[in-house]
């Protein structure tokens, strides 16, 4: 059975110069929209102003943990909201690792997002060592608990969860379907069992035009996050058309 894919999130990361981005957006807005699948594009902050079209939704790759004020270099959730941003990526492994972002910061970012009606897209996933030590399920549950416990009940159902095994990001190595299905089910069962929540769970990590057909056989998936393959507009179109 093909799953009902509700989200395709494009994480453009720190890529493209201004003219390239203008061209990219021109192509993107011509994509034939699917009613049931949200296409969410997350460019760098400086390019958000270019992405103002109803064919897709706008997301940011990060959000400040602070509110307006003397925080040089920060971009707040309310500023993002004023630019039409509806979603914010939070807890991406690149931010956790490179920028040493800790759970406390991630929680603050999620709270600030909610406050400005920006929906958080929360990333969880195990690293290679945790996988090899059979720690994956424990790590995933802890990452979920750390956040959900801190979010007021009535806002919890707005969370979108992304399962990204860190070892699969940008590596060209995708786990096999049974592993992804099993992890996604573990996340869904935990959310349901402990919090009575039916949250969407997306998969990210080296999804591309060649492997998406195979990944679409995973019946409990709600969507994908694509990094590398979203940078090429033709590949993005190919993936979007297949789902
Ligand atoms: C990501 O970094 O969120 C991601 C999914 O990257 P890639 O598709 O390049 O593995």
The ligand 1 atom nearest the CA atom of 229: 8
Query: Measured from the CB, is residue 41 less than 6 Å from ligand 1?
Result: no
For range 36-40, the mean pLDDT: 94
pTM: 0.96
pLDDT band at 15 (very low <50, low <70, confident <90, very high): very high
Query: Measured from the CB, is residue 124 less than 6 Å from ligand 1?
Result: no
Q: What is the pLDDT of residue 99?
A: 95
Query: Measured from the CB, is residue 226 less than 6 Å from ligand 1?
Result: yes
Q: Is residue 92 annotated as a catalytic residue, yes or no? A: yes
Residues 230 and 8 sit within 8 Å (Cβ to Cβ): no
Q: Which of 25, 65, 92, 126 is an active site residue?
A: 92
Give the separation between CA 67 and CA 174, rounded to whole angstroms: 38
Query: Measured from the CB, is residue 204 less than 6 Å from ligand 1?
Result: yes
DSSP element (H, E) containing 218: none
End-to-end CA distance of the chain: 13
pLDDT tens track for 20-34: 999 999 999 999 888
């Amino acid at each position: 059975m093909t799953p009902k894919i509700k989200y395709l999130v494009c994480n453009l990361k720190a890529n493209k110069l201004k003219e390239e981005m203008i061209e990219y957006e021109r192509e993107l807005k011509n994509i034939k929209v699917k009613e049931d699948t949200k296409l969410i594009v997350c460019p760098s902050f400086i390019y958000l102003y270019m992405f103002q079209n109803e064919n897709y939704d706008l997301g940011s790759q990060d959000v400040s943990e602070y509110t307006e004020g003397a925080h040089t270099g920060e971009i707040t959730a309310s500023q993002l909201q004023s630019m039409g941003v509806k979603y914010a990526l939070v807890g991406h492994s690149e931010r956790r690792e490179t920028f040493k972002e800790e759970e406390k910061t991630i929680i603050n970012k999620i709270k600030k997002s909610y406050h400005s009606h920006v929906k958080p897209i929360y990333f969880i996933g195990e690293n290679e060592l945790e996988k090899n030590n059979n720690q994956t399920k424990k790590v995933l549950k802890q990452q979920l608990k750390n956040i959900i416990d801190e979010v007021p009940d009535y806002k919890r159902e707005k969370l979108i969860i992304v399962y990204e095994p860190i070892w699969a990001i940008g590596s060209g190595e995708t786990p096999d379907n049974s592993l992804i299905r099993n992890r996604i089910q573990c996340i869904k069962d935990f959310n349901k069992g402990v919090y009575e929540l039916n949250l969407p769970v997306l998969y990210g990590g080296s999804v591309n035009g060649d492997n998406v057909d195979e990944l679409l056989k995973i019946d409990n998936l709600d969507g994908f996050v694509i990094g590398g393959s979203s940078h090429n507009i033709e590949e993005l179109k190919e993936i979007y058309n297949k789902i």
